[in-house]
Amino acid sequence: MNRQEWEALEQARELLQLGDRATLNEIKRSYRRLSKLHHPDTATGGSCSEQMYRITAAYDLLMRYCNEFRFPLKREELESEGLDPYDPEDWWQARFGQDPLWGGKKTRQR
């Protein structure tokens, strides 16, 4: 992810009033709570529909980010990729190998 994408995620997190770490359920609860508060059909004021668009866009962005991180849940899936499911480095590689910062298997120094 580039800097702009991280900044957009940070803004979305702040708009939905989430902490540094949030589960999918926390994101959904926050979205529902703010939607009830700012929905144009139930809230008063002219800026409610604009705020609702911003809340929905933030929620969509966070959901897209969360959906990109899918992890193998079966040992066979890891083994079919040539990875040992019991090796911590292979576990890390399977989950974060495409990330430019965390990707790449490290060599052990002995």
pLDDT tens per residue, range 53-79: 999 999 999 888 887 765 554 566 667
Residue located via tokens 């066979």: 76
Cα 62 from Cα 57, distance rounded (Å): 9
Residue spans of the chain under pLDDT 50: 73, 107-108, 110
Q: What is the pLDDT of residue 16?
A: 93
The DSSP secondary-structure symbol of 44 reads -
Distances (CA, A) of 29 to 11, 49, 51, 52, 60: 18, 19, 17, 15, 14
Residue spans in the chain of domains classed CATH 1.10.287.110: 3-68
Of 77, 54, 57, 69, nearest to 24 (Cα)?
Answer: 69
Pick the CATH number of 3-68 from 1.10.287.110, 2.60.120.700, 3.30.420.300, 2.40.110.10: 1.10.287.110
Which two tokens mark 98?
């495409």
Residues 6+ apart with CB under 8 A from 14: none
Whole-prediction pTM value? Answer: 0.59
